[in-house]
């Protein structure tokens, strides 16, 4: 079992999954790794500060997000090579899953630094279980494009691959997405909306695209969503 302590230089890089809502979902290994870190590179330092405060973790923090990861990655890895223990955190859930993480993992591997992955909760894996749809095989498609033409082509590509697809979507576009699924993929397409997973207002809504688009046409959505679409 690879762990942070296995690093020969004394320094290490760890990508740590953190709760997406309920703080009790954090793992013991994640807490230990955060406590041992010299630096936490966080997508949102304010959210990281709340997490660390809750668990009484004093580690130093720096921002590491989509707008600065290209120029901060090398600097962070320099610190690892100089013996620093660095944790990468996304806002919540697992780094690299529609959040910063890929670039630093790739760059670390190129330098001969083997990242330590501390697994845990993810909105995606929560939705895979909660959807109630076939998941012997499934795909993760990230966020749909915003512009209409690209968005339609995106849905047409999903339609042509017979499996269950999982998407992230903004609450402001969920109603639009349901209507588009009904139009492009078909009104009888099985769909599940997983909203605010592990949080106070957690909700799982299941049905077919046409009926759900009509039922929720006027609803003002809030929260974070994973949308499951079955094209089998």
How far is 159 from 55, CA to CA, in rounded Å?
Answer: 44
Confidence of residue 1 (pLDDT cuts 50, 70, 90): very low
C-beta separation of 101 from 197 below 8 A: no
- 130-156 pLDDT tens trace: 999 999 999 999 999 999 999 999 999
Q: Give the distance from CA 91 to its chain's centroid.
A: 9
What pTM was computed for the model? Answer: 0.88
Q: How far apart are CA 100 and CA 89, in angstroms?
A: 8
State pLDDT tens for residues 174-226.
999 999 999 999 999 999 999 999 999 999 999 999 999 999 999 999 999 99
Give 15-68 pLDDT, tens digit per residue. Answer: 999 999 999 999 999 999 999 999 999 999 999 999 999 999 998 999 999 999
E strands, the chain, are 12-16, 39-42, 60-63, 85-89, 116-118, 138-142, 164-169, 190-195, 203-208, 225-230
For the CA atoms of the chain, what is the radius of gyration? 20
Q: 4-118 is classed in which CATH architecture?
A: 3-Layer(aba) Sandwich (3.40)
Residue 199 confidence (pLDDT): 95
Domain ranges of the chain: 4-118, 123-230
Token pair 């992955």 in the structure block, residue: 117
Q: What is the mean pLDDT of residues 71-75?
A: 96
Per-residue pLDDT for 4 more than 80?
Answer: no
From the candidate CATH numbers 3.40.630.30, 3.40.190.10, 1.10.10.1800, 3.30.950.10, the one assigned to the domain spanning 123-230? 3.30.950.10
Cα 111 from Cα 114, distance rounded (Å): 9
């Amino acid at each position: 079992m690879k762990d942070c302590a296995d690093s020969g230089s004394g320094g290490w890089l760890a990508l740590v999954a953190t709760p997406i809502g309920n703080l009790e979902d954090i793992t013991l290994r994640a807490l230990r790794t955060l406590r041992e870190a010299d630096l936490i590179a966080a997508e949102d330092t304010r959210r990281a500060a709340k997490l660390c405060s809750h668990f009484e973790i004093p580690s130093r923090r720096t921002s590491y997000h989509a707008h600065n990861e290209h120029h901060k990655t090398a600097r962070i890895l320099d610190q690892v090579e100089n013996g620093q223990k660095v944790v990468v955190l996304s806002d919540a859930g697992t780094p690299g899953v529609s959040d910063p993480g890929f670039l630093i993992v790739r760059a670390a591997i190129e330098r001969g630094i083997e990242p330590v992955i501390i697994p845990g909760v993810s909105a995606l894996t929560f939705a895979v279980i909660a959807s109630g749809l076939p998941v012997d095989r499934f795909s993760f498609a990230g966020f749909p494009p915003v512009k209409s033409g690209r968005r339609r082509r995106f849905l047409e590509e999903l339609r042509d691959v017979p499996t269950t697809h999982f998407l992230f979507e903004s609450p402001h576009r969920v109603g639009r997405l349901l209507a588009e699924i009904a139009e492009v993929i078909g009104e009888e397409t099985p769909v599940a909306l997983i909203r605010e997973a592990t949080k106070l207002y957690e909700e799982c809504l299941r049905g077919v695209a046409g009926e759900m688009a009509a039922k929720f046409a006027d609803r003002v959505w809030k929260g974070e969503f994973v949308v499951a679409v079955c094209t089998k």
